[in-house]
Every structure is written in structure tokens, then in C-alpha cells.
């Protein structure tokens, strides 16, 4: 066949294939072009230009004496130093952030004017100090925190602060394990949170945080103390929702341990949750039984459209400041805001930023968020006026009918006196929660002193807890102590008959 004939035939085939592809891409319904999703638009006039799509263009004014707490995912902020410990696929020299984008990130931080700025996706402490010294030299960020969490992509959570830092830590070893939180993803907690826990991941979830929270404590020159947990929960779609839920629950447990020591503690869980407000990972924190509350409740304009508080280029809210009642009591009214940064035109795909550069002025796929605190005077948690969690308001009738005691294994019988006591406890709403293993080596009967456990405790349907067994002498009120912190020392002793009878599952038979 003549070359021109072949060429003509190939051209025709290519044209037909192109037309078929175009027809397949057309929507099957009769919606107008204006109502179709942006992915189906082909006309240049339908492209939304770059601009401030989300948040507000300028930071809110800060009251005199206020302290601004902020969070910002800077989207893979890397310096130009080649880390010799990295090579091949994860060689950081390939991740160098452009000068233009570094300046855009710095411009956003300058506008924000935060006193404590919590950051995500920072390469290292060295990188952050280099960035501060080169682009933020006059901002007063004397104090820096950043810890390597061993994440394969080489990014971590960090802090720039004008307030002195008193301690910095991350969670390692058994402390970083999250799979022991699986027992909390149950039907009762789902009902309380008004949602459903994610189905188990296709692959087993990681047994630990992908990126440990960064815990940083501060103390102002006037003595005001507060702590932040800077978080960056596991990214990805529904396949990783279970992992995010476990990470959120474990973080909430860390906060709970601190509130046991000091109910007035000023603590914030800040950062990129990679979850929307109604995802269970977020609800686990903002609707926690600890009384935590989202800074969103302090937004400056409650009638503003949702775009005013959108934080990510995907049109989602996934960045948060969640606070303990003690810190919430110190919040300045109407001070929460999202600072808008340049959003690329709608025909640019932020997921392909590595191969298709963003436009000039683009800083990150996230917008910074901030809330102001008034550190003087440091108000107690009791000064926080939001309605108390419902579980604190429930009352339990002491004459409630027992739901049935747990049967002993092997047809054994408990002493009559213990059965009477167990019935009274159950009638007063008490259930015994068996000790649970925390570390991988923990197992009943294993006396390895390095294995760690959550001790058993008593829990009431009205929300109260008690470490000691409630008795008639205290009108079955219990000691009011919270769920005990995990401890090492090997397997606990077998439960008593009363503990077994009042439990629902777990444990070994009483001796």
C-alpha cells in the first residue's frame, strides 16, 4: 500500500478514536453546561480563574494582649540541602521547594501574624530554621520545635513560636500503638457520636501512628501555660478511614491522661486531620466525652458562606483546632478565621503539582487557620459556658432492674454474697471493664514485666467512672477516678467474682 494511503488511513482511525472518546466523556443527561461538574467542561470561558476561593483575604485584627494560635499545612516545605541519608525514590533533593512558593508561604505566615504557629509537612528542624532565618527573620519566632517521626516521605510536624517552649516530645514504641483503640470503635460510641465507624481497611491498619503527634508545651513570661498536640493523621480515601479513627482516638486518650492530672489544663489538638467535620475521626475529638470543643464555634461570622471556613483546595474542611474546656475558657469571642491563600485556576489539578507547576503566588493546598486566646487571667475549665456533655447530665435510678449477670465459665457458681453485691452494682448502673492489653506482648498469664496493660475500672451508664469498686457505704457513687492510664508490670491478677459478674466480656475466670 502506498505510504500516503497508509497515512490517511491512520489519520482517519485516530480521528474516529478521538471522536468516540469525546462522546464517551459527554454527560448522558440533559443538564446545562453551567450545572455540570467542572471535570466535564471543555470551554475555556467556564474555567474559574486563580484567586482567593476560600477563607478571608486578610487576617482578623488581634486584640491587645491576645495570643494567636494557628495551624498551617505548608505542603512539603523542603530546603535545598541534600540529606545524604535519603536516596533513590525518596531523595529529598528532588523535593526542593521553589523560591516562588517559599516566598508565598512566608507571605501567608506574615499575614497570619500568629504567636504560636503549628505546621505540617516540614522537612526537618534544619529546614524550618533555614526558612525562618531567610524569609521570616523579623517575625520574632525565636523558638522552634520539630521532630523526625520516621515517616518515609521525610516530612514532620513543627512549631514556630514567640512564646518560650518548655518541652517537646513525640510518641514512640508502645505509646505510638493505635490498634488498641479498636475496642472503642463500638456500637455504643457510634450511637453517641451519631455516625458509623469505618469498615476495616482492605489491609490491616498500621499498628502505630503513621506520623506521631508532636507534643509541645509553652509558658509565657507571665506564667500562662498551654500545650499543643500537632497532628497530621493518615491521608487517603475511605480505605484509610479506620486508620485515621484509631489515630484520633489515641490522641484523644493522650489528652484524657493529661486532664486526669489537671482538669483545667490548656490543651489544643491542632493540624491536618485529613477528615471532614462529620467523619468519625473528627467527631472522636470535637465531640469527645472529655468535653473538647472545636475552634469553629468561635468563628468571626456565623452567617458567612461555607467557603469562608473551607481549608483545603479540594473544597473540604480538614484542618482544625480542638480544645479542652480550660483552653476554650480563654478564647477571644469571634476570633476564629481561615486565612485565604491563592487558589489555582479550576483547570489546574493540585494532585499533579509535582509535574505541572502551580501559578505564581501559590503557597499550599491548605489555608492557615487561627484563633486568639486571652492568657490573662487564665480561666478555669468551669468558666467555659458551653453546655456540658450529655453523659454528665444523666441520672441513674438505684432501683433499676438488672440486665443480667455474666455467667461463669464451666458451669461454676459464685458465692451467694458476691451475687447479691453484683446485682446491687448492676442495679445502680455499674459495669466492670476488664483490663485490656496494650502492648503486643501482653497476654493473660504472661508475667513479662515489659508488657503493658490498661487496668480494669468501673463505668456507670450515667458516664461516671471509678477505679475502686463502688460500695453501699458510698451509696454506690464510686471514687470518681477516670479510666486508669496504662502501666507495665505484666499480666494483672484474675478478676474477683463480683468484677466478673458485672463485666460483659474479656478477662479470665475468677480464682
pLDDT tens digits along 51-61: 999 999 999 99
For residue 18, what are the CA distances in angstroms to 9, 15, 190?
14, 5, 49
Write the pLDDT tens digit of every residue in 271-325.
999 999 999 999 999 999 999 999 999 999 988 999 999 999 999 999 999 999 9
For 493, the domain range is 409-501
Q: Are residues 380 and 413 in the same domain?
A: no
At 345, which CATH number?
3.60.10.10
Answer whether residue 150 is part of any domain.
yes
Examine the domain organization and report whether 125 and 272 are in the same domain.
yes
Q: Is residue 369 part of a domain?
A: yes
Element spanning 436, H or E: strand 436-437
Angle at 159 between CA 155 and CA 164, to 5 degrees: 150
The reply to whether 229 and 335 lie within a common domain is yes
Distance between CA atoms of 21 and 2, rounded to whole angstroms? 29
Q: What's the chain's Rg over C-alpha atoms? A: 27
**Residue 271 located in a structural domain:** yes
Verify that 379 and 427 share a domain, yes or no. no
- State whether 382 and 426 are in the same domain: no
Q: What is the total count of domains within the chain? A: 2
Q: In terms of domains, do 340 and 444 share one? A: no
CA–CA dist 497, 11 (Å, integer): 85
- Asked whether the predicted pLDDT for residue 332 surpasses 90, the reply is yes
331, 455: one domain:
no
User: How large is the average pLDDT for residues 156-177?
Assistant: 97
- Say whether the peptide bond before residue 199 is cis (omega within 30 degrees of 0): no
Same domain, 201 and 236: yes
Specify if 478 maps to a domain. yes
**With contact defined as beta carbons under 8 Å apart, do 341 and 358 qualify?**
no
391 is a domain residue: no
User: What does the pLDDT read at residue 440?
Assistant: 60
More confident residue, 443 or 38: 443
Q: Do residues 340 and 459 share a domain?
A: no
The DSSP bridge partners found for residue 452 are: 488
Question: Residues 348, 465: one domain?
Answer: no
Asked if residue 395 belongs to a domain, the reply is: no
**pLDDT at position 203, please?**
63
Q: Tell me the C-alpha distance between 312 and 351, whole Å.
A: 12
Structural domain contains residue 430: yes
Q: Tell me the average pLDDT of the chain.
A: 85
Query: Residue 255: which pLDDT band, with cuts at 50, 70 and 90?
Result: very high
Both 377 and 475 in a single domain?
A: no
Question: What number of H helices and E strands is found in the chain?
Answer: 9, 18
Is residue 402 predicted with pLDDT exceeding 60? no
| 273 vs 51: CA distance, rounded Å | 25
Same domain, 442 and 341: no
Q: Which of 371, 386, 401 is where one domain is finished?
A: 386
Residue ending a domain, choose from 386, 421, 453: 386
Residue 497 lies in a domain: yes
Binning pLDDT at 50, 70 and 90, where does residue 387 land?
low
| pLDDT higher than threshold 70 for residue 393 | no
pLDDT at site 152: 80
Which three three-digit cell numbers place residue 249?
Answer: 482516638
Three-class SS of residue 145? strand
Share of the chain above pLDDT 70, in %: 84
What is the arithmetic mean of pLDDT over 392-403? 36
pTM of the model: 0.68
Amino acid at each position: 500500500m502506498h505510504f500516503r494511503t497508509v497515512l490517511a488511513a491512520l489519520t482517519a482511525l485516530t480521528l474516529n478514536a478521538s471522536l468516540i472518546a469525546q462522546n464517551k466523556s459527554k454527560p448522558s443527561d440533559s443538564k446545562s453546561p453551567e450545572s455540570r461538574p467542572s471535570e466535564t467542561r471543555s470551554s475555556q470561558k467556564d474555567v474559574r480563574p486563580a484567586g482567593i476561593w476560600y477563607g478571608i483575604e486578610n487576617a482578623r485584627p488581634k486584640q491587645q494582649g491576645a495570643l494567636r494560635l494557628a495551624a498551617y499545612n505548608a505542603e512539603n516545605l523542603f530546603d535545598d540541602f541534600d540529606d545524604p541519608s535519603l536516596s533513590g525514590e525518596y531523595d529529598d533533593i528532588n523535593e526542593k521547594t521553589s523560591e516562588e512558593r517559599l516566598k508565598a508561604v512566608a507571605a501567608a505566615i506574615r499575614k497570619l501574624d500568629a504567636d504560636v504557629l503549628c505546621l505540617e509537612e516540614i522537612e526537618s528542624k534544619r529546614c524550618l530554621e533555614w526558612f525562618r532565618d531567610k524569609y521570616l527573620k523579623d517575625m520574632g519566632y525565636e523558638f522552634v520545635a520539630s521532630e523526625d517521626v520516621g515517616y518515609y516521605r521525610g516530612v514532620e510536624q513543627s512549631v514556630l513560636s514567640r512564646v518560650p517552649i518548655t518541652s517537646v516530645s513525640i510518641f514512640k514504641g508502645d505509646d505510638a500503638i493505635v490498634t488498641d483503640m479498636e475496642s472503642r470503635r463500638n456500637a455504643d460510641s457510634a450511637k453517641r457520636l451519631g455516625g458509623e465507624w469505618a469498615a476495616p481497611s482492605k489491609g490491616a491498619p498500621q499498628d502505630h501512628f503513621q506520623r506521631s503527634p508532636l507534643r509541645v508545651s509553652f509558658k509565657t513570661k507571665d506564667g500562662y501555660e498551654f500545650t499543643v498536640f500537632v497532628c497530621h493523621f493518615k491521608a487517603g480515601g475511605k480505605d484509610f478511614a479506620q486508620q485515621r479513627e484509631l489515630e484520633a482516638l489515641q490522641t484523644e486518650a493522650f489528652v484524657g491522661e493529661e486532664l486526669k492530672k489537671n482538669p483545667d489544663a490548656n490543651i489544643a489538638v491542632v493540624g491536618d486531620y485529613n477528615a471532614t467535620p462529620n467523619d468519625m475521626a473528627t467527631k472522636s475529638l470535637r465531640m469527645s466525652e472529655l468535653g473538647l470543643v472545636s475552634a469553629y464555634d468561635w468563628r468571626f461570622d456565623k452567617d458567612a458562606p461555607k467557603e469562608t471556613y473551607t481549608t483545603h483546595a479540594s473544597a473540604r474542611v480538614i484542618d482544625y483546632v480542638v480544645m479542652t474546656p480550660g483552653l476554650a475558657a480563654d478564647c477571644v469571642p469571634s476570633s476564629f478565621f481561615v486565612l485565604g491563600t491563592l487558589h489555582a485556576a479550576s483547570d489546574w489539578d493540585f494532585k499533579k503539582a509535582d509535574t505541572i507547576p502551580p501559578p505564581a503566588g501559590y503557597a499550599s493546598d491548605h489555608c492557615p487557620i487561627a484563633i486568639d486566646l486571652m492568657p490573662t487571667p487564665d480561666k478555669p475549665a468551669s468558666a467555659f459556658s458551653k453546655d456540658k456533655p450529655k453523659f454528665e447530665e444523666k441520672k441513674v435510678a438505684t432501683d433499676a432492674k438488672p440486665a443480667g449477670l455474666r455467667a461463669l465459665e464451666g458451669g461454676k457458681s459464685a458465692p451467694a454474697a458476691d451475687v447479691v453485691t453484683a446485682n446491687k452494682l448492676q442495679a445502680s448502673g455499674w459495669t466492670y471493664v476488664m483490663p485490656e492489653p496494650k502492648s503486643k506482648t501482653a497476654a493473660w498469664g504472661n508475667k513479662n514485666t515489659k508488657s503493658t496493660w490498661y487496668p480494669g475500672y468501673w463505668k456507670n451508664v450515667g458516664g461516671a467512672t471509678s477505679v475502686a469498686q463502688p460500695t453501699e457505704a458510698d451509696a454506690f457513687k464510686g471514687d470518681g477516678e477516670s479510666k486508669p492510664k496504662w502501666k507495665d508490670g505484666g499480666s494483672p491478677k484474675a478478676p474477683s467474682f463480683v468484677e466478673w459478674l458485672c463485666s460483659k466480656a474479656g478477662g479470665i475466670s475468677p480464682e
